[in-house]
Amino acid sequence: MASIVFDLDGTLIDSAPDLQKIANELLQADGHAPISLIETCSFIGNGASVFVEKMCAARGVPKSSEAHYIEAFLNAYQSAFGLTVLYPGVLTALERLKAQGHKLGICTNKPIGPCRAVLEHLKLTNYFDTIIGGDSLPVKKPDPAPLFAAFDALEGGVSIYVGDSEVDAETAARAKAPFLLFTEGYRKTSVDQIPHTAAFSDFGELENLVARF
């Protein structure tokens, strides 16, 4: 049995279209040019506030307006899941891992409110024994504290982290945990530049990777 903790955005779910939609509604309301989906993906990873800061910087929004944009973004974020989808094979992989007795958790920099809302919308909540959001603790990833909190809550077997990004890789390294890299998410560099124990592009591979431990 293992304790398997997952990142959320870019790992289990593709939420970039919803984040792009929120961002562009805010930007265009003030006469700024919209951001592309590629830009959106590049801003994801360090939490909502950092996303908004990068969005504002990319479109020349004055620093004095950032607090307003962050507040408006977070308000819209609570129900932003209409365009969000699971990556192929995620549901089957979670069902199989759960059936084998593994304990599953979430450790994400997404705020806990939107995190729980999207998990409920996608009917995923019951698969996870613990959920740690970006505001559940005073610190966020890549600080390892949120990942340690998730592992501690699961209390079982070898601890494994599954994520898609450089932030996730650093978090796992600082927690000294095996890291399984999902290559089809929001990473910003090549796979060989991201430290990982193993990499996979298809969730059908995950069960066998976990079995190695």
Residues annotated as part of the active site? 7
Give alpha helix (H) positions in 122-178: 145-154, 166-175
- How large is the average pLDDT for residues 121-136? 97
CA angle 97, 84, 204 (to 5 degrees): 30
In the chain, how long is the greatest CA-to-CA distance? 53
pLDDT value, residue 213: 84
pLDDT value, residue 162: 98
The residue with greater pLDDT, 140 or 213, is 140
pLDDT value, residue 1: 87
- Predicted confidence band at 80 (pLDDT cuts at 50, 70, 90)? confident
Query: Of the given ranges (13-27, 67-81, 159-173), which has the lowest mean pLDDT?
Result: 67-81
Residue 125 and residue 102 in contact, taking contact as beta carbons nearer than 8 Å? no
- Percent of the chain exceeding pLDDT 90 equals 92
pLDDT digits (tens, 9 = 90+) for 17-48: 999 999 999 999 999 999 999 999 999 988 89
- How large is the average pLDDT for residues 183-210? 97
pLDDT at 156 over 80: no
pLDDT value, residue 157: 84
* All domains of the chain in start order, with CATH: 2-14+84-211 (3.40.50.1000), 16-77 (1.10.150.240)
Contacts of 100-103 with CB under 8 Å at 24 or more apart are 100/1, 100/207, 101/1, 102/1, 102/2, 102/3, 102/4, 102/156, 102/157, 102/210, 103/1, 103/2, 103/3, 103/4, 103/129, 103/154, 103/155, 103/156, 103/157
